[in-house]
């Protein structure tokens, strides 16, 4: 299917690539379906593009690329809600905030996006009992 995107214009996506956030993403609860689009193959930065509206797209990354020591425990209720049975089914991304340049970008390690790759269900989870914050520096962390 053809999808109009915020940053990449019109792109072709497959129905099976659609990820569903049944509860939406906090602050954007009415938008529940997204696809992940690669920004550039040389960097681990992607767009989480809404399927419902071309105007909504988050810049995301694999947090382990920039923070190899990043650790989290997915709460049991989230494992059940997303029907995650094996760690191989899980992809974890974090949302970036890019200001003037990538050098000043921050990454939200407090609220990762948890995706079950098997059934394409996802949820943004706010971690508890952690020192992670919403604005860790992206550059200089790896």
pLDDT digit of tens for each residue in the chain (142 aa)? 999 999 899 999 999 999 999 999 999 999 999 999 998 777 889 999 999 999 999 999 999 999 999 999 999 999 999 999 999 999 999 999 988 877 889 999 999 999 999 999 999 999 998 999 999 998 765 4
Q: Which domains does the chain have, with CATH numbers?
A: 2-137 (2.30.290.10)
Task: Give the whole-angstrom CA distance, residue 51 versus residue 45.
Answer: 19
**CA–CA separation, 20 and 81 (whole Å):** 12
Measure the CA–CA gap between 64 and 112, rounded to whole angstroms: 11
User: Does pTM surpass 0.85?
Assistant: yes
């Amino acid at each position: 299917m053809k999808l109009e995107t915020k940053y990449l214009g019109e792109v072709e996506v497959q129905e099976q690539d659609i990820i569903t956030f049944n509860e939406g993403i906090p602050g954007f609860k009415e938008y529940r379906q997204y696809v992940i689009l690669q920004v550039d193959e040389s960097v681990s930065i992607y767009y989480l593009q809404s399927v419902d509206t071309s105007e909504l797209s988050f810049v995301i990354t694999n947090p382990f690329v920039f923070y190899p020591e990043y650790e989290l425990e997915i709460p049991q209720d989230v494992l059940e809600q997303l029907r995650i049975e094996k760690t191989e089914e899980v992809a974890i991304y974090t949302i970036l905030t890019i200001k003037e340049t990538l050098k000043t970008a921050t990454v939200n390690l407090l609220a990762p996006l948890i995706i079950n790759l098997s059934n394409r269900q996802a949820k943004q989870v706010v971690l508890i009992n952690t020192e992670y914050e919403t604005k860790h520096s992206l550059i200089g962390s790896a």
